[in-house]
Chains A and B, each alone.
Chain A
Amino acid sequence: MIKKITKSFEYIVALVLGHLTVLKHIFKKPVTLEYPEKKAVLNENFRGEHALVTDSGGNLLCTACGTCQRVCPSFGTIEIEKDKNESGKFYPKNYSIDLNKCIFCGNCVNYCPFGAIVMTKEYELSNQKKSSLILDINTLKSNYSDSIIEKKEK
């Protein structure tokens, strides 16, 4: 009998303590981030949309070696068409990344011997047509120049 009374007393104390613990959260600031008015601060390593790096002369660093194709986990994501320019250097005539198949693992960035492809911080990629998610070489170049402009603004 005594045990029952002490046990029920313990339960009542636990209930009151639980309620007070929940109550004290009223006085804390909300942790909501009001997207899309406020956006999260991303970090340098973030793996967003891809971009092909151009040097100061406007030429691509990419030599179409095909390493990125060989380390990409999903087949058929990166399509490269190789060509040789006048000075004998290889360059990609066509380079496309199919975002429908990409898993954003970052292998292409990590294993590129020339550092010719980077991933920007762009993550709002939804679109209404599947075809607009296939990035061709011009889009990739302009992604890079956009990201440079953003960096300069910051």
Chain B
Amino acid sequence: MNYLYYLYIQFLAKYHLPEAIGMITFPLLPFIIVAVVLIVMVIFLVLLERKVLAIFTQRKGPNRVGPWGLFQTIADAIKLLIKENITPVGAEKFMFTLAPLLAFIPVMAIWGLIPFSAEFDFISYSVGALLFMTIASIPILAILLAGYASNNKYSLLGSMRSVAQAISYELPFVFVLVAVVVLASSMNLGQIVLAQTSVYPFCGWFIFPSFLGFLIVFICALAELNRCPFDLPEAESELVSGYNTEYSGMRFAFFFLAEYAMMFIMCAFIATLFLGGYLSPFGFYLSTKIFGNGHLGQILVYFEQVFWIFLKTFFLIFCMMWVRATLPRLKSNQLMGFAWKVLLPASLLNLLFVCLYKYFLFAK
């Protein structure tokens, strides 16, 4: 951050603007960038999901609205905006309105924690990983609020089932996170990424010592996001109703968009933990090879690192859509049984294995 701040001050000095302006506006830049990128990313992801699911079934996705269907999400958003916002009789007005916001806002807060490159590490806390898990649990509260505030006993049942599912699948996630922290000797997300550098191209990535952990985290992320095969709370033909039955218009859109934003940030988190974050799989950066080690090369390295983390995130998003296309839904008792009887012991096993690996590797 310091290097960019220095460049920014020099840029301002060229136009004879005082340094105080730089000091005030510079911290705002990350927020603006995050907000813009988040919204663009969510719009893009909704379309991407439909296109990817179509490719898996030998079809073309939406391609009428705009070239390659790029404006499809905007058309959907406009449709949802012009619908009436119905609040059911007897619902708790304050909580009813609060729930969709509570589902969407924590996701924006988490974006700052992930290191997108060595310089774009906006909020660098020493307990970054733990803070991520904490803030990522707030949307679960939003689901509970939505179900309770709807004044509809089926919504309440649906939301309680969804909350039970989300809580049960957080435990294996946290245990695998502990294993990663053991491997990296730090909870700071930037440090976790740096601990994955190695002499050979990608041997240092944490996916290799704890492949089982990677699978467990992937499955738990699917369950946290209420995606197939864990989307029982959202299914129409299964349940009588879900937690978002009484929502219409823009409030429904918030839940919907929050799911996609959360999907992106979860995949970015998994990429940071296991796939080496912003590190290049080649060991060197193409920018330095092409542009040399000067000014331009240094700045381009940061953007190239952003490119690498985005590539890994989109690969994981593709895998999530691939799983959605293939598997049927799990039943409610199977969901809970799978989390407690299979994933939790497996995550503890993974922790044991990682501790042994670290001990024997570093005891020399």
Contacts and interface: CB of A to CB of B under 8 A. Distances in A.
Interface of A: 15, 18-19, 22-23, 25-26, 28-32, 34
B323 interface: yes
B69 to A, nearest CB: 13
Contacts of B34: none
Contact of B326 (A22, A29, A31): A22
A43 B29 CA distance: 64
A18 B325 CA distance: 10
Given A15-B327, A30-B58, 20 more contacts: A18-B326, A19-B322, A19-B323, A19-B326, A22-B56, A22-B325, A23-B322, A25-B55, A25-B56, A25-B57, A25-B58, A26-B55, A26-B56, A29-B58, A30-B54, A30-B59, A30-B60, A31-B58, A32-B60, A34-B60
A20 B322 CA distance: 10
Nearest to A26: B55
Interface in B195-211: none
Interface in B321-347: 322-323, 325-327
A22 B322 contact: yes
Nearest to A28: B58
Interface of B is mostly: helix
21 contacts: A18-B326, A18-B327, A19-B322, A19-B323, A22-B56, A22-B325, A22-B326, A23-B56, A25-B55, A25-B56, A25-B57, A25-B58, A26-B55, A26-B56, A29-B58, A30-B54, A30-B55, A30-B59, A30-B60, A32-B60, A34-B60
A26 B58 CA distance: 7
A144 B327 CA distance: 52
Nearest to A19: B326
Contacts of A26: 55-56
Can you list the 10 inter-chain pairs with the closest CB atoms, starting with the nearest? A22-B326, A32-B60, A30-B60, A31-B58, A32-B59, A30-B58, A19-B326, A18-B326, A26-B55, A28-B58
Interface in B58-88: 58-60
Contact of A31 (B56, B59, B325, B327): B59
A109 B326 CA distance: 48
Contacts of B55: 25-26, 30
B327 to A, nearest CB: 8
Contacts of B325: 22
Nearest to B215: A12
Contacts of A19: 322-323, 326
Nearest to B55: A26
